[in-house]
C-alpha cells in the first residue's frame, strides 16, 4: 500500500437523553484524535520509552466524516437517532433501527462508528464497557465500532480517564485486525497478537503503569503498556509499532481493500 489511505467515517449517535446526543464539536474532536494517532502526529509520542522509539509507526491512515451518504446525497457524516433505552449490549442491537439503533451504512465504503448511551457486557460481573469492535471478515450489517458517549472525543460528555479519544484509536485498531498485545490468553504467556515487535506480555495493564513492567520473561523492557492495544488509561497509551502498521497494511490490501483508491 502506497501513500495515505483516507477512510470515510459515519458517526451514528444513538441517544435517549439530550446529553447523550453529543455535539458536532465532540465528534470533530474524536476524528482529530484518530488523525493524529494514525499518522503518529500525537504530541505524546515523545513519552514513548527510549527503548521503543525506533518501533513507533505512522500507520498512514486518515479519517474524514463522510460528505456523501450511501445514495450520493450530501451529508455531514453524522446520523442522530432518539431511542427508548439507555442500555445496549454487545449483541449489536444498536446497529439496527429495528432494535432502537441505526442501520450501518455500506461497510465496504464507510467506517461505521456508533455512539451509545451505555454498553454492557453480557457477563454481568463485567458491567459497563468502553466500546467494542468487529474484526475484518464479519457480516457487513454489523461491521464497525461501538463506543459509549462518555469515552468518545475529548470534550462535552467525555469523562476522565477515558477523555482523550483513545477508545476509538484502540477499537479502530481491532477493526483493522489488531489484537490486544498480551495475546488474549488471560494472564498466560502463550497467547500472541501475531506481531513480532510487541513484546510477549502476561495480561492487560490498567491505569498509568510505571516503566518497566516485566512479565513473561520480557525483561528488561517489559510489557509495551504504552501501546494503543493495551488497556491503560487514555493518557498512558500513545503508540502503534511498525509490526502493527504492517498488519494494518495487510488488512487494507486484503479484507478491507475496498478502501484503497
Give the integer Cα–Cα distance in Å for 43 and 220.
Answer: 26
Which distant-in-sequence residues (6+ apart) come within 8 Å of 48 by Cβ? 56, 226, 238, 239
Q: Which stretch binds Ca ion (CB under 5 A): 35-43, 138-146, 187-195, 229-237?
A: 187-195
The stretch among 36-44, 45-53, 139-147, 195-203 that binds Ca ion (CB under 5 A) is 195-203
Kindly identify the residues of this chain, within the stretch 133-172, that bind Ca ion according to CB under 5 A: none
Q: Is 128 a catalytic residue?
A: no
In the bound state with Ca ion, the residue whose beta carbon lies nearer, of 68 and 185, is 185
Query: Three-state SS for 120?
Result: strand
User: What nine digits make up the cell of 164?
Assistant: 482523550
* Shortest distance, position 41 Cβ to Ca ion, whole Å: 25
3 forms bridges with which residues in the sheet? none
Residue span 5-44 as binding mask against Ca ion, x where in contact by CB under 5 A, dash where not: ----------------------------------------
Q: Which is nearer to Ca ion, 7 or 248 (CB)?
A: 248
Give the active site residue among 50, 62, 120, 171.
Answer: 171
Residue 230 grid cell: 493495551
Q: Helix (H, G, I), strand (E, B), or coil: what is residue 80? A: strand
Residue 198 within binding range of Ca ion, rule CB under 5 A: yes
Check binding of 193 to Ca ion (CB under 5 A).
Answer: yes
What φ, ψ does residue 188 adopt, rounded to 5°? -75, 170
Cα–Cα distance for residue pair 78/159, rounded to 1 Å: 21
Which residues are annotated as catalytic? 171
Q: Contact residues for Ca ion (CB under 5 A)? A: 193, 195, 198
Amino acid at each position: 500500500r502506497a501513500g495515505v489511505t483516507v477512510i470515510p467515517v459515519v458517526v451514528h449517535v444513538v441517544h435517549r437523553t439530550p446529553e447523550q446526543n453529543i455535539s458536532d464539536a465532540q465528534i470533530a474532536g474524536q476524528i482529530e484524535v484518530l488523525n493524529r494517532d494514525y499518522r503518529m502526529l500525537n504530541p505524546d509520542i515523545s513519552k514513548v520509552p527510549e527503548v521503543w522509539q525506533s518501533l513507533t509507526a505512522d500507520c498512514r491512515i486518515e479519517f474524514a466524516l463522510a460528505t456523501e451518504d450511501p445514495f450520493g446525497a450530501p451529508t455531514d457524516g453524522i446520523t442522530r437517532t432518539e431511542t427508548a433505552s439507555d442500555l445496549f449490549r454487545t449483541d449489536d442491537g444498536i446497529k439496527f433501527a429495528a432494535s432502537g439503533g441505526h442501520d450501518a451504512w455500506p461497510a465496504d465504503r464507510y467506517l461505521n462508528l456508533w455512539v451509545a448511551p451505555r454498553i454492557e457486557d453480557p457477563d454481568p460481573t463485567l458491567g459497563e464497557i468502553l466500546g467494542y469492535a468487529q474484526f475484518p471478515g464479519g457480516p457487513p450489517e454489523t461491521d464497525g465500532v461501538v463506543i459509549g458517549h462518555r469515552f468518545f472525543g475529548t470534550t462535552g460528555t467525555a469523562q476522565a480517564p477515558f477523555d482523550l479519544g483513545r477508545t476509538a484509536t484502540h477499537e479502530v485498531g481491532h477493526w483493522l485486525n489488531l489484537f490486544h498485545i498480551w495475546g488474549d490468553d488471560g494472564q498466560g504467556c502463550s497467547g500472541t497478537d501475531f506481531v513480532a515487535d510487541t513484546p510477549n506480555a502476561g495480561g492487560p495493564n490498567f491505569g498509568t503503569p510505571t516503566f518497566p513492567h516485566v512479565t513473561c520473561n520480557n525483561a528488561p523492557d517489559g510489557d509495551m503498556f504504552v501501546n494503543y492495544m493495551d488497556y491503560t488509561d487514555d493518557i498512558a497509551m500513545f503508540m502503534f509499532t511498525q509490526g502493527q502498521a504492517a498488519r494494518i497494511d495487510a488488512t487494507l490490501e486484503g479484507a478491507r481493500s475496498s478502501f484503497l483508491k
